[in-house]
Amino acid sequence: MANSIKWLGHAACQITTEKGAVILIDPWITGNPSCPVNKEDIKKADIILITHDHFDHLGEDVPDLVKATGATVIAQPEMVDTLQKLGVCADNIIFGMGMNIGGEVEVAGVKIIMTQAFHSSGTGSPTGYIIILEDGKSVYHAGDTGIFDSMRNFGELYELDLALIPIGSVFTMGPLQAAASLNLIRPKKAIPIHYQTFPILVQDPGEFIELAGKKAPEVQIEAIKPGQEITI
């Protein structure tokens, strides 16, 4: 079994490792117009990563998914109160109190590193994640962010196999910043996310693909559709 990643629309992604661990990132399922599945379709999850507390990243799906799967939720300490109010018990939150930027934890054989992101959040601060799978393959989910120069540290430290990059503009990087960020992150592959969900967001990945070809031609762009799955 190979490592795989499925885009669930918007920023929501599902990673399944070669050993069968399942990681959900920002699983906004119910009410997500681009999500092709229902939360009841998700039968297994070992880890749920939350980048920040906006409704399209952290919502009422999370406690239901935790109850159905027993997953461990990883988020900042300031979001623990929000998670508990939604119905997630402390036993299902990493260390019962969350973790913070720069920290690394291991759950179900998968290493999780929380990174900074430049955005906003009602509680805590926005984050991204670097996920190191059991076989050493690495995935960077940038979260909701604009471009920032220290992204280059992630590429240097972790030699990323795949980056999940927001391109939608208005609330995150648009195509130009997203394409330029690939020069800093230097992943082998990149999947554009966080676009097309709402009318005000960028609707098509074409401009990003064109700009990425000029600014980071060594990076393979995989512009998959919601529900599509590729190997890592």
- State the pTM of this model: 0.97
Does residue 14 fall inside a structural domain?
yes
CA angle 24, 84, 21 (to 5 degrees): 25
| pLDDT for 38 | 96
Does residue 232 fall inside a structural domain?
no
Q: What is the 3 state secondary structure string of 102-144? A: CCEEEECCEEEEEEECCCCCCCCCCEEEEEECCCCCEEEECCC
Does residue 22 fall inside a structural domain?
yes
Q: Which residue range forms the structural domain that includes residue 219?
A: 4-227
| pLDDT for 145 | 98
Does residue 115 fall inside a structural domain?
yes
Number of domains into which the chain is organized: 1
| pLDDT for 95 | 98
Average pLDDT for the chain: 97
Percentage of residues of the chain with pLDDT beyond 90? 99
Does residue 193 fall inside a structural domain?
yes
| pLDDT for 1 | 76
* CATH classification at residue 92: 3.60.15.10
